[in-house]
Chains A and B, each alone.
Chain A
Amino acid sequence: MKTTIQEQDGNMVAILEGKLDTGAAAEAEKAMNPLYDVEGKDIILDCTALDYISSAGLRIFLGILQHTQEKGQHVYIRGINDTVRAVFTITGFSNIFEFI
């Protein structure tokens, strides 16, 4: 699992690669910590190269969403594959996030 944070077009983007499963969650959460400090920018979670997400990964996403919404900013999920989208759907979270 690899996580890269970078600024793109005025947004903060977290590029996630590999499997965000229980084993990788702690490290991924640490890598995404800077997103909690983002002010005045929207956040994009780029899942183009994300193969799988577990409940632990969903918790990280939801934590970022909750924190960001309180500041009046948006969290967008970009480029998820069918497997990851299915996880969002069967857990009932598909209408909580904004997918682009």
Chain B
Amino acid sequence: MDNQVKLDAHGEMLLQQFRRLRPKLEPLAQEAYDLLRHALREQGIYVTAIEQRVKTEKSLTGKLELKGAKYKSIDDITDLVGLRVITFYTDEVDKVAAIAKRLFDIDWQESVDKRKLHDLNAFGYNSLHYICRLRTGGPRFELQMRTALQHVWSTIEHDTGYKGDVKIPDVYMRQFNRLAGMMELIDDEFSRLRTVLTDYRRQTLMLVKNGKLDDVPLSRDSFRNYLDLQPFDRLNRRIAAVNQAEIWPVSVMSYLPVLESLGMETLGDVQRLIDDNSDDAHQLALSQLAITDLDLLSSNTALQYLCIVHVLKHGGGREGLKTLFDHINGESDANAMLADMMMEQAKSLPFMLQGGHNI
């Protein structure tokens, strides 16, 4: 305890009440924290942090020194236990609040939505505070819900001490106000952007499901959705059948830049890569695997052979294959050897002979 702080008799009485109450506060904080964390996880809400703390005696003493007379008993102080949930987005603050309403009894007289307190001249950018009580009873506690940016603001606000005794000149207050507005705008824009992206993903998924692949630009999201349709499985199984091979699952996402390097712009282009080249890719893989006893293939195998055939059919030749392997494996002189090997294997296959690509 800070020895410099002198409490009056009323303050001392409240402090004694706190000391008697304190053994109950740690379990209360933990129980409220566990309930909240479990409920958030159950609802699939990912937050940047959930924190809990019991007010220290030093902090309480400071508060009592300043405004102890305001409280009749220790039960009137509602932040002896505090929980804080920091979300990514503004709309998630309301989701957390809805969950809190379901979990706890809320003291609406004491709870404050500071986000709605701003008037034209008010400065600030604050969070939603609920005063709660466990449904099983016990002391009240404070639950703060804010976004990560609101948290940053609150921390800086505290650090600058603008709420201290010294009156801040208008010119500096104006700077605070401008920054607060900017932070609020950024928070809203992040939320808006997330909504837009979620809609975009949903639309893309619908287009993929409806087979309108030419309308879907090739991107990480769209390619991932497309892979849910397992577009390379049939060819992988055909190739695996050559040696009764096991297919070892690996991420096909690494081929996205390879497809982009081949000029694919939509999922329709990728589908055409499959439709136009599967038989030839199978022939090429067959010509290589049939003379081996290799019975283990990666789930990238079909796509790799499709890309090889595509390059050869488009007249890429040895240099095109070297470039393709540079994209697949990373740049290396060894890729020239692989290009030669593939050229050698492919040169007698029908698609090369018909197209005159081995010239």
Contact = CB atoms under 8 A, between A and B. Distances in A.
Interface residues of B, number: 27
B294 A91 contact: yes
A22 B328 CA distance: 28
B329 A93 contact: no
Contacts of A58: 294, 296
A49 to B, nearest CB: 17
A3 interface: no
A94 B285 contact: no
A87 B294 contact: yes
Nearest to A22: B293
A87 B301 CA distance: 12
Interface in A58-98: 58-59, 62, 82, 85-87, 89-96
B298 A93 contact: yes
A48 interface: no
Contact of A92 (B293, B295, B304, B332): B304
A4 interface: no
B289 A90 contact: yes
A55 interface: yes
A85 B338 contact: yes
A95 B293 contact: no
Contacts of B295: 55
A51 to B, nearest CB: 15
Interface string B278-314: 0000000100110011111111110010000000000
B287 to A, nearest CB: 10
A99 interface: yes
Contacts of B296: 55, 58-59, 91
Contact of A55 (B285, B294, B325): B294
A57 to B, nearest CB: 10
B248 interface: yes
A91 B297 contact: yes
Contacts of B300: 92-93, 95-96
B328 A86 contact: no
B311 to A, nearest CB: 14
Contact of B254 (A22, A82, A90, A95): A95
A11 interface: no
Contacts of B49: none
B358 to A, nearest CB: 19
Which of the listed residues B325, B332, B338 has the most CB atoms from chain A within 10 Å of its own CB?
A: B338
A90 B245 CA distance: 13
Contacts of A87: 292, 294
A99 B299 CA distance: 20
B334 interface: yes
A87 B285 CA distance: 12
A95 B338 CA distance: 13
A96 B292 CA distance: 21
B251 to A, nearest CB: 9
B334 A92 contact: no
A59 to B, nearest CB: 6
28 contacts: A22-B293, A54-B293, A55-B295, A55-B296, A59-B296, A85-B337, A86-B338, A89-B304, A89-B341, A90-B288, A90-B289, A90-B292, A90-B294, A91-B294, A91-B297, A91-B298, A92-B250, A92-B297, A92-B299, A92-B301, A93-B300, A94-B329, A95-B254, A95-B300, A95-B328, A96-B298, A99-B332, A99-B334
Shortest 7 CB-CB distances between A and B: which pairs?
Answer: A92-B301, A92-B298, A55-B296, A92-B300, A90-B288, A55-B295, A93-B298
Interface of A: 22, 54-55, 58-59, 62, 82, 85-87, 89-96, 99
